[in-house]
Amino acid sequence: MRTLPHKYIVVEGPIGVGKTHLVKRLANSFSGASTIFEQPEENPFLEKFYLNPKQSALPTQLSFLMQRVKLSKALQQDDLFTDLQLADFMLEKDRIFAHITLDDDELALYNMVYDNLTLHHRTPDLVIYLQASLPVLKSRVSQRGIGYEQHVEDAYLKKLADSYADFFHYYDAAPLLIVNAEQIDLVNSEADYQNLLEQIDGIKSGKHYYNPLPVKVK
């Protein structure tokens, strides 16, 4: 059975880029892997946010923060019992969204709450950051057909993608693999997926870039 030189892997990226699908596929590839997924459907403010971002931004963000802190603590408690832990979010991503959606007064309040709730959280052994262009993100959001996501505006999605790029440009808390997911299919293409695994397997430290072309099946 194949193993990886990492015990805790996070897959990150903007809405629609394919984080959850990749985590699920990784979990299916490695025996004994445990997974933790974000649960946006359990945020009672999210649909209201997409319909009226200004009015619902703060409760939406605080609700996500509480959820992500709770899930992160559960992951830490599970650390002793699994060989590989996989998550489709990292706690720091919460601030990416907060800086986009909150005004100055709301952000000041949010930061006080964030700082108190995140004093101790686990750093991943590897972060995989998936990138894709706005048209690709829009297409994937549309294809997965989640009702409230269909209200996402292009300007918001682009700002989110740009904010992710800026965040990971400076990120150095853990080994990082930046993947151009524009033209590859990590869900349905075995060749694309295996090529990514080769990249993951070789990373021990630092920042790495993977800019693949889709593998053509003969």
Gap between the Cα atoms of 67 and 137, Å rounded: 24
Q: What is the pLDDT of residues 116-165, one digit of tens each?
A: 998 888 899 999 999 999 999 988 888 876 776 777 888 999 999 999 99
* Residue 73 located in a structural domain: yes
pLDDT tens for each residue of 12-51: 999 989 999 999 999 998 878 889 999 999 999 998 998 8
Residue 51 has what pLDDT?
87
Total domains in the chain come to 1
User: Residue 3: inside a domain, yes or no?
Assistant: no
The CATH number that applies at residue 197 is 3.40.50.300
Instruction: Please write the tens of the pLDDT for every residue from 51-91.
Output: 888 899 999 999 999 999 999 888 877 666 678 899 999 99
**Rounded to a whole number, what is the distance in angstroms from the first to the last CA of the chain?**
28
Residue from 2, 1, 31, 9 nearest 175 by CA: 9
- 217 domain-assigned: no
Pick the residue with more confidence: 192 or 215? 192
Residue 40 lies in a domain: yes
pLDDT of residue 215: 55
- Report if residue 183 sits inside a domain: yes
Residue 184 lies in a domain: yes
Range of the domain at 27: 8-210
